[in-house]
Amino acid sequence: MVEESSNKTVGVLALQGDFEKHLSALYEVGVNGKLVRTETELLSVDGLIIPGGESTAMTKLIMTFALEEPLTEFVKTKPVMGTCAGMILLSNQTDSDSVIGFGAINIELERNGFGRQLDSFSADIPLEFTNGNPFHALFIRAPKILNTGEDVISLATHDGETVMARNSNVLVTSFHPELTDNLAIHKYFINQILLSKENLN
């Protein structure tokens, strides 16, 4: 469970991808969850998860649902978590003009940097915030972080590559934490970002 009770609600962008898994994880850690597909729904939540999926398809749907401008403003200051494709959308720079880069976290990345679908793999990675306890991470067409800004903190690595990072209000992973039973990463997002003092407003 989360460290303290809260009336805050976390939205999950539900245009494409594995959004239902994230919604289930939020309920498991004791947080209100809500699927988000419209600007009105976005403005009603206190934080947001952008799930894994296909970043090009998600970009097209964001345009179709007129969410580009509302999301651009939301991710500047609100607590946001992005996994796999969600990390791509939140990044400062991508390797494709067909994908939005909201610039919410100062990272440069390569889409499918860990390989295509056939190269998917799992690995036990130590998390900095759990005293190095391993997290069994699933990498599926995973993006690879190439460079990070000075304000970005690495929270987990695999083979020397950062695969989980954060700045003040944004948490991103190359892998899919929602596809495991381990809730450590969702709890970290809630406790250390959503419920942190600077975001309690």
Predicted TM-score (pTM) above 0.85: yes
List, for residues 155-197, the tens digit of each pLDDT value. 999 999 999 999 999 999 999 999 999 999 999 999 999 998 5
- State the alpha helices, DSSP H only, in 32-145: 39-43, 55-64, 68-77, 85-90
The residue among 137, 200, 193 whose CA lies nearest residue 170 is: 193
What would the CATH number be for the domain defined by 9-199? 3.40.50.880
Domain boundaries in the chain? 9-199
Give the residue numbers annotated as catalytic, written as ranges: 84, 176, 178
Q: What own/partner pairs with CB < 8 Å and gap ≥ 24 does 153-157 have?
A: 154/128, 155/127, 155/128, 155/129, 155/188, 156/125, 156/126, 156/127, 156/128, 157/125, 157/126
DSSP string, 70-98: HHHHHHHHS-EEEETHHHHHHEEE-S-TT
Mean pLDDT of 4-11: 79
The residue among 37, 77, 81 whose CA lies nearest residue 174 is: 81
List, for residues 33-87, the tens digit of each pLDDT value. 999 999 999 999 999 999 999 999 999 999 999 999 999 999 999 999 999 999 9
Nearest 5°: the CA angle 123, 125, 129 is: 155
Distances (CA, A) of 135 to 4, 75, 94, 104: 24, 26, 26, 25
pLDDT at 200: 46
List, for residues 78-129, the tens digit of each pLDDT value. 999 999 999 999 998 666 778 889 999 999 888 765 656 656 889 999 999 9
- State the alpha helices, DSSP H only, in the chain: 19-28, 39-43, 55-64, 68-77, 85-90, 184-188
Amino acid at 14: A
pLDDT at 5: 45
- Percent of the chain at pLDDT > 70 equals 89
List, for residues 126-140, the tens digit of each pLDDT value. 999 988 789 999 998
